[in-house]
Amino acid sequence: MAPLVGLIRVGNCMSEPSTSSEISPEIRNMQAIQTQLKKSFAAGRMRSLEARINAISAIEKLVQENQGALCEALGKDLGRPREDSLIAELSVVIEEAVAARKHLKRWMKPRRKIMPLLLFPAKGESSPQPFGVTLIIGPWNYPFQLLLAPLISALAAGNCAVLKPSELTPTCSRLLFELIPKYLSSDVVQVIEGGVETGQQLLDLNWDMIFFTGSTQVGKHIAQAAARNLTPVVLELGGKSPCIVDSNADLTVTARRILWGKLLNSGQTCVAPDYIFTPRSNVENLVRALESTLKEFYPQGFVRNQSYCGIVNQRHFQRLESVADAHRNQLRIGGKIIASQRLVEPSFYLLNLAEAAHAPLMKEEIFGPLMPIISYESIDEVTAYINSHDHPLALYLFTSDSDLVARVERETRSGSFVVNDTVIHLATSKLPFGGVGGSGMGAYHGESGFSAFSYQRAIMKRPFWLDLPVRYRPYSGWKMWFLRKLLGYKRA
């Protein structure tokens, strides 16, 4: 996921909040906002199905009525073409809203649990309950989707929320700050803008739940801050998502689907395929397919804001430029860089497994349009490599071999496993989206999002009319014999 620099604490991560005499006006304002939302939650503002549906519908309305302004803001901050924003960002929010409205009544329903004979005639159920007031921290790479989609889940579950947009996309942050109050009540949702200091001040407050999307590094800081108050967290992080291309894959379709997923947002997507594994004998065929597809996708070349997205800022641009320079002798496709536009052409580099072990391209999530192609001899080498690193957010496999699919699925771990496609699994609310280990904890989208922002309350109800004496002391004679039978003991 996108690094969220503004939330890394400088100094002692575990320092205590300031005393009341040292509290700044900014912190007082945050505390006032949190108090307002807590009072609203306690008053049952989001308890009913109707209130939740209305709030979710308001978010959908916000997106539908402001498509132009939202796309314009994304273009200004990210240099992203309008069609990419419509396809890969705003559509996800609409899908989440539609799914939540359609299914929320069922999601909210308590699940009846059959009680054992020991508890007869009790009735039991598991009832989903909201946490309370949640803090949702978003990244810069999809600044609307990755705040509004979890917000839909939070509201569906009956929570109130504070949104913290990334300071690295200031136009999008300001637009969200202006639009949210027009569509949602301030006693349900509020937006707090700011950078490093604001992010840390928010983390110093006691939230009922924190949802964070960003880098693994910052995710660890979020988890530390949440641990002080035993606050539950969902961490949507990132990492290097591998892509395995088998020798029997349809390379024309494979190249299209890899490039479509990789070049969305110029590779600045948490589930973008990060690197490719392919058999040594298949390397040249794959390179030709990728070259041909790039010409098909971009017949007029790479033009910022029109056909192609720029890199978010100078720091990230220089990082990619440095990595590309380190691998200039292994370049096979692309390589052009336009510093004045922060534009990096899609570039592919050939490595073997021995080189991958110390290659700059393989040290961290690339988060850009650079992609190594790593040749291998045996699939054993591939699964061993994947399993020796952090579990990825996504793992992609292109093959026609069902046995290979079963083997890779069985022998690896990842947040998601997609066969013969990339990234598109995020387009449906039917599948959970989340990581494991270094790529995150917890999942959302659709019912999984409702569950992420809920806890299960156990409810048991018993009448007065049956009160068996065998339950009560003293335990002797027939009571103990009966209880042992009832509790499942096989021997005296």
Return residue ranges of the chain for CATH 3.40.605.10: 5-238+444-455
Query: Which residues fall within 8 angstroms of residue 139, CB to CB, at 6 or more apart?
Result: 1, 2, 3, 4, 146, 166, 213, 214
Kind of pairing, strands 440-441 and 233-236?
antiparallel
Query: What sign for the dihedral angle of Cα 180, 155, 43, 206?
Result: negative
Across-strand partners of 238? none
Dist. CA 195–CA 33, nearest whole Å: 18
Q: What is the pLDDT of residue 34?
A: 98
Across-strand partners of 134? 161, 209
Dist. CA 85–CA 323, nearest whole Å: 27
Return residue ranges of the chain for CATH 3.40.309.10: 241-431
Q: What is the pLDDT of residue 476?
A: 87
**Architecture of the domain delimited by 241-431:** 3-Layer(aba) Sandwich (3.40)
Of the residues 71, 160, 243, 270, which is catalytic? 270
Kind of pairing, strands 160-164 and 133-137?
parallel
Q: Which of 264, 257, 297 is nearest to 367 (CA)?
A: 264
Q: What is the pLDDT of residue 190?
A: 98
Amino acid at 392: P
Q: What is the pLDDT of residue 12?
A: 31
Of the residues 89, 95, 96, 236, which is catalytic? 236
Q: What is the pLDDT of residue 15?
A: 33
Question: In CATH, what number does 5-238+444-455 get?
Answer: 3.40.605.10
Spell out the per-residue pLDDT of the chain, length 492, in tens. 554 434 433 223 333 334 444 678 889 999 999 999 999 999 999 999 999 999 999 999 999 999 999 999 999 999 999 999 999 999 999 999 999 999 999 999 999 999 998 899 999 999 999 999 999 999 999 999 999 999 999 999 999 999 999 999 999 999 999 999 999 999 999 999 999 899 999 999 999 999 999 999 999 999 999 999 999 999 999 999 999 999 999 999 999 999 999 999 999 999 999 999 999 999 999 999 999 999 999 998 888 878 899 999 999 999 999 999 999 999 999 999 999 999 999 999 999 999 999 999 999 999 999 999 999 999 999 999 999 999 999 999 999 999 999 999 999 999 999 999 999 999 999 999 999 999 999 999 999 999 999 999 999 999 999 998 999 999 988 999 999 988 989 876
Q: Is 13 a catalytic residue?
A: no
Q: Is 26 a catalytic residue?
A: no
